[in-house]
Amino acid sequence: MELLQRFAAGDLDAFEVLFRQHQKQVYARIVRIVRDSGTAEDLTVETFWRIYRSRARFDPGGNFGAWAYRVATNAALDHLRKSRHEIELPADLAANSQPDTAVQHQTRKRIQIAFAQLPAKYRLVATLALIEQESYEKIAEAAGISTTLVKVRVFRAVRMLRKKLAPLHFERDAKT
């Protein structure tokens, strides 16, 4: 019997093989969204738990990697929904290692907080499109939504950020 068929039938050894084949890609996907390695490890396990639980619904002729990618994106999105109000961001979010002036530090902090306060579904697409520079098509496939909806969500996320960060723009414009 083929690996995917054995997995769908509940074979734990087949699941282990698939886990080891895909854990790195799933982790990389999640860490780009949640931006914290510990949380990403927990969510990787959560993703594979969801996959194992719904193995009976998996079509052995289908693409396991694409399915895992989608489940991982949803697990990360669920995490963003739960942690939306925890605006303390992980340290690895800072853009460069150069020391900040007090004003730069304050600006950076405001941008990070504004970003963290975005609703989860907007934060997901904004992180992937604006920070990780992923294509709209790739985001759409992973999130299980249309490319048009991804574009709309990015547009709305940008509008929300603009609103929150309007004073910063004025400061910038005044300086130039």
Task: Please tell me what DSSP assigns to residue 132.
Answer: S
- With 0-12 CB in 10 A as exposed, 13-18 as middle and 19+ as buried, what is 50? middle
Number of Cα atoms under 13 Å in the Cβ half of residue 92: 9
Nearest CB to other proteins, comparing residues 5 and 37: 37
Structure tokens at 14: 């087949």
Least Å distance, CB 18 to other proteins, is 11
Which residue in 96, 98, 101, 176 binds other proteins (CB under 8 A)? 96
Nearest CB to other proteins, comparing residues 24 and 81: 24
Q: Vertex 29, ends 25 and 35: CA angle to 5°?
A: 130
**Cα–Cα distance measured from residue 79 to residue 73, given in angstroms and rounded to the nearest whole number:** 10
Which residue in 52, 67, 147, 149 binds other proteins (CB under 8 A)? 52
**Cα–Cα distance measured from residue 69 to residue 38, given in angstroms and rounded to the nearest whole number:** 19
Nearest CB to other proteins, comparing residues 19 and 77: 19
Measured from the Cβ of residue 136, the count of other Cβ atoms closer than 10 Å reads 18
Binding of other proteins by 165 (CB under 8 A): yes
Nearest CB to other proteins, comparing residues 61 and 69: 69
Nearest CB to other proteins, comparing residues 38 and 144: 38
Candidates 2-10, 19-27, 69-77, 139-147; binding stretch for other proteins (CB under 8 A): 19-27
For the segment 123-162, give every residue that binds other proteins (CB under 8 A).
130-133, 151-152, 154-155, 158, 161-162
Whether 44 contacts 25, CB under 8 Å:
no
CA 47 to chain centroid? 13
Applying CB under 8 A, which residues contact other proteins?
A: 12, 16, 19-20, 23-24, 27-28, 31-32, 35, 41, 44-45, 48-49, 52, 92-96, 107-108, 111-112, 115, 130-133, 151-152, 154-155, 158, 161-162, 165, 168-169
